[in-house]
Amino acid sequence: ESTTAQLDPRVQAFLNSGPKRLFIGGQYVESISGRTFATKDPSTGEVLTYVFEADKEDVDRAVEAAEKALQGPWAKVTPSERGKLIWKLADLMEEHAEALAQLDTLDNGKPIRETRNADVPLAIDHFRYYAGWATKVHGEVIDNSVGSHMFTYTRREPVGVVGQIIPWNFPLLMAAWKLGAALATGNVVVLKTAEQTPLSALYLSELIQEAGFPDGVVNILSGFGPTAGGAIVQHPRIRKVAFTGSTEVGKLIMQQAAGNLKRVSLELGGKSPNIVFPDADFSKAIPGALLGIFFNQGQVCCAGSRLFVHKKVYDNFLADMCSYAGKIKQGPGLDETTEIGPLVSDEQFDRVSYYLNKGREEGANPILGGQPLDRPGYFVPPTIFADVRDDMTIVKEEIFGPVVAALPFDDEEQIADVIRRANTSEYGLAAGVWTTDARKAHRVAHELEVGTVWVNCYNVFDAAVPFGGYKQSGFGREMGNYALELYTQVKAIWMNLG
C-alpha cells in the first residue's frame, strides 16, 4: 500500500504550465533577459520545473510597480480594508493548504507531515495575526513643555517600498513572516525567494491576486542572490531591506545597504546551545533534543546544534537519544510516513558532508549516522557526534544539517561554566534549557546571550512572540508587535494653535 501523498491537481497544473513567470505589478511576466533556471526535487535531484530569472532590470520594474501602488490605489485602502485583504488571503491559503504543503515538500524536500502541520498552518496564522494589527497601529498625542498653544502628535507611517530576501528552509513561512507585518502597516513589497525554492511564493502570489490586493503591492521575483538580491539591496528607492539567511551574506547586505542608508533587519545564522541538566525530565528532554536538531533536517537557523549534557547523565542520555533517533524514518518528503527528508540541494549535501568528515578528522565520534546515504537525492542521516571538544569545527561553525555535537559539562550548583561555554559563540539566536528547577531555568535563561530561550521545549513558534538574534545572529525582531517597528517610521507633527 502506497503511503505517498496523491499529487494535488492544482500542483500538477501549476508545475505543468511551463516556466513560471515573475509576479510584477499584478502581472505574470518573463524576465527581461528571458533567462530561466531549474528548480529541483531534492529527493531525486530531478528538475521539477523552470522559473524565469530576475535580474536588476526586473527589480527596477518591480520597484516602479510598487511605487505606483503606493502612491495610487494602496494609499486609498483603509487600515480596516487592509486587514480584511490579509485575512482574505489567509482564508484562500486555507482553501489551497494541500497545494501549498505539497509545493514546499516538492521544492524543499521537507516531509509532507511537517508542511501540512507546521509550515502551512503557521503561515496562515501569521497572516491572521497581522490582519488584526492593521487597525491597531497608531501614533500618540504628546504633552510638550513648549506651551499649551503647541499641539504635538506622532504618526506611524509605512517605510514605503521594502525589499525582502528570504531563504529556502521554510519557503512559504518565511514569505509570510516577511509579508505579514509589511502589508499590515501599509508598505509595498519586492520579495525575492531563494533560488532553491521559488515555487510556493509564486503560488501564493496567485492567492494575493485573488484576495484583491491592488496590483504592485506585492511583487515576487525568482532569482539569485548576487544579481536580483544585490539589486534589491542597492536600489536607491527601496527604503528598507529585510533579510533572512547566512551571517556571511548578512554582512555583505549591511555593507551594500549602507550605500544609500537603507534600513536593514537581519535574521542570520546560529549555533544554538541546548542544555540538559541532570534534574531534567528525560521523557521530554530526549525527544526535545532530537526535535531541536533534526526538525527540518537540521536546516533551521535556531537548531539546537550544541547539545550540552551534564556529565552525570551524559552516557545514558546519548544512548537513549541514539535508540530513539535510530527509529526516525527517513525518505522522500511526499511519503506520508517520512519523518526526515533529504537536504535541500546538492550544495547543501556537500556542505554537510564536509562537516561529517571534518568532525571525524578532528576526533569526534559519530555514535549515530555520520555518512551521507548512498541513494539518489540529497540524504544525510540523523547524526550524533560524541567525544566532542569546544574547539572543534563542528562545535564552532553552523552546519545547517541533521548533525549535533554532544558536549559534557560538569557544573554542580555553580552553572557559570556551562553558561560561559554556551555564550562563547559569536551567534546568539536561540537556546534550550532542560530542568525541573524553575529558579535555575530563569537564571540560565537570563544569562544566555540569545534572542529566544526555550525552557523544557524547543522550536516552538507563534506569530505573537518575537523572534530574532543577539550578536552575529542579526538584529530586528520579526513577529509580535515588535515587527511593526521594522516597517513603520515615526513622524512628529507640531501644530501652533496660538
Indicate which residues carry an active-site annotation. Answer: 267
Q: Are 42 and 108 in contact (CB under 8 A)?
A: yes
State which residue, 305 or 435, has the beta carbon closest to ligand ADP. 305
Q: Should residue 252 be labelled a site residue for ligand ADP when binding is judged by CB under 6 A? A: yes
Is 245 a binding residue for ligand ADP by CB under 6 A? The answer is yes
Q: Please list, residue by residue across 4-29, b when 16 or more beta carbons sit within 10 angstroms of its beta carbon and e when fewer do.
A: ebeebebbeebbeeebbbbbbbbebb
Contact 494, 149 (CB under 8 A): no
Phi/psi at 69 (5° precision): -65, -40
Minimal distance, residue 246 CB to ligand ADP, in Å: 3
Question: By C-alpha distance, which of 430, 427, 419 is closest to 465?
Answer: 430
Let me know: does 191 contact 166? Beta carbons within 8 Å.
yes
Out of 46, 80, 95, 226, point to the residue binding ligand ADP (CB under 6 A): 226
Burial of 248 (0-12, 13-18, 19+ CB in 10 A): exposed
249 touches ligand ADP (CB under 6 A): yes
**Closest CB to ligand ADP among residues 158, 229:** 229
Q: Determine which residue in the list 171, 229, 341, 382 makes contact with ligand ADP, applying CB under 6 A.
A: 229
**Does residue 174 touch ligand ADP according to CB under 6 A?**
no
Residue number of the CB closest to ligand ADP reads 225
Least separation in angstroms between CB 315 and ligand ADP: 34
224 lies in the site for ligand ADP, by CB under 6 A: yes
Residue 230 or 342: which CB sits closer to ligand ADP? 230
Q: Cα dihedral sign for 99, 168, 358, 290?
A: negative
> Which CB sits closer to ligand ADP, 50 or 324?
50
37 binds ligand ADP per the rule CB under 6 A: no
Applying CB under 6 A, among 118, 253, 406, 433 the residue interacting with ligand ADP is 253
- Judged by beta carbon, residue 59 or residue 66, the one nearer ligand ADP is 59
What is the identity of the amino acid at 107?
A: D
Span near ligand ADP by CB under 6 A; candidates 210-218, 228-236, 322-330, 368-376: 228-236
Binding-site size for ligand ADP (CB under 6 A) equals 17
Starting at the earlier edge strand, list the strands of the sheet with 188-192: 27-29, 22-24, 218-221, 188-192, 161-165, 240-244, 263-267, 474-475
Residue 379: closest CA among 462, 294, 297: 297
* One-letter amino acid for residue 195 of the chain: E
Q: Pick from 473, 278, 431, 322: which is nearest to 421 by CA?
A: 431
Residue choice 198, 214, 225, 372 for contact with ligand ADP (CB under 6 A): 225
Q: Which listed residue (233, 242, 313, 407) binds ligand ADP by CB under 6 A? A: 233
- Say whether residue 42 binds ligand ADP (CB under 6 A): no
Give, as ranges, the residues between 187 and 216 that touch ligand ADP (CB under 6 A).
Answer: 192, 194-195
User: Which one, 135 or 353, has the nearer CB to ligand ADP?
Assistant: 353
Q: Which of residues 132-171 bind ligand ADP (CB under 6 A)?
A: 165-167
Which of 379, 439, 380, 407 shows the shortest CA–CA distance to 304?
A: 407
Q: Kindly give, in sequence order, each residue whose CB lies less than 8 Å from that of residue 176, ignoring residues fewer than 6 positions away.
A: 122, 123, 124, 126, 127
Contact positions toward ligand ADP, by CB under 6 A? 165-167, 192, 194-195, 224-226, 229-230, 233, 245-246, 249, 252-253
